[in-house]
Amino acid sequence: MLSLHGKIVAITGASGGIGEATARLLARRGAAVVLAARRGERVDAIARDIREEGGQAATCVVDVTKAEDLRRLVSATVEQYGRIDVLVNNAGIAPISPLAALDTEGWSAMIDVNLRGMLNCVAAALPVFHEQGSGHLVSIVSVAGLSGATPSMAVYAATKNAVRSVHEGLRRESTDGVVRTTAISPGYVRTDLAGSMTDPHIRDATRKNMDAMGIPPAAIARAVAFAVEQPGDVEIGEINVRPTVQA
């Protein structure tokens, strides 16, 4: 296992689920973490836990749909720790429903959080990565972005596919050894993602599948750790992490 000691990592969507698990694991392995989310009280509590366990943690209230919030996150991280080595783009929502439901507000929200949020991460971090000579963008995507549109998930899958496309474009534009990218696509994970689903039948079915086959958020956190602990000349471009019983 390579060391994360000295790494500075900012994580969006860090108030629970995969983001929280990632912050806790990376801190235990020696990284300094900055937890970002809209729920300030929640990330403050997690950061206190991390510090009480001997880790380094700070917080920042962030709405990823606002470009200025991402710029503030990156600036605050650099101001406190001197640089930002890794930005984990983890925030995401899934108010999925059949297209015939015409949930245009849900469609817009998924585009704003899942895709625009990732682009705001790129816009905020890329200049700093180039200025300091290195940097790593990690995005938590979804296997929904791999298998094409499935019933009720067309717009959600489209946003996740778009994130993967942007990642690949950034990778191809970043062969100078400065910027690394990693797209991690989870399958069913036991998180509160279903809480963002507005269709009650889909929400209940998703929760049932999560309970039946979901893996813990720590499984995705370990994938993040694996990617970011690699030496500077190694890039882990994509990782897919599913429960062994998921098709």
Cβ atoms of 184 and 223 closer than 8 Å: yes
Cβ atoms of 13 and 19 closer than 8 Å: yes
The answer to whether position 138 is within a domain reads yes
- Record the tokens describing residue 178, joined without a space: 């400065």
Task: Please identify which residue in the block is written with the tokens 């995005």.
Answer: 139
Structure letter (DSSP) for residue 151: T
The answer to whether position 247 is within a domain reads no
Residue 188 annotated in active site: no
The answer to whether position 80 is within a domain reads yes
Task: Please identify which residue in the block is written with the tokens 């990642």.
Answer: 167
52 Cβ neighbours under 8 A, 6+ residues apart: none
The answer to whether position 122 is within a domain reads yes
Q: How far apart are CA 39 and CA 240, in angstroms?
A: 28
Cβ atoms of 196 and 101 closer than 8 Å: no
The answer to whether position 246 is within a domain reads no
Show the domain range for 223. 8-239
Cβ atoms of 33 and 26 closer than 8 Å: yes
The answer to whether position 245 is within a domain reads no
Instruction: Quick: pLDDT tens for 166-180.
Output: 999 999 999 899 999
The answer to whether position 149 is within a domain reads yes
Q: Would you say how long the chain is, in residues?
A: 247
pLDDT tens-place values along the chain, 247 residues long: 567 999 999 999 999 999 999 999 999 999 999 999 999 999 999 999 999 999 999 999 999 999 999 999 999 999 999 999 999 999 999 998 999 999 999 999 999 999 999 999 999 999 999 999 999 999 999 998 787 667 888 999 999 999 999 999 999 999 899 999 999 999 999 888 877 787 888 888 888 888 888 999 999 999 999 999 999 999 999 999 999 998 7
For the chain, report the end-to-end CA distance as a whole number of angstroms: 30
Residue 149: what pLDDT?
65
Q: What's the whole-model pTM score? A: 0.94
Q: Which amino acid is at 23?
A: A
Structural domain count, the chain: 1
CATH number at residue 170: 3.40.50.720
The answer to whether position 218 is within a domain reads yes
Q: How far apart are CA 206 and CA 195, in angstroms?
A: 10
Question: Which of 107, 129, 156, 188 is an active site residue?
Answer: 156
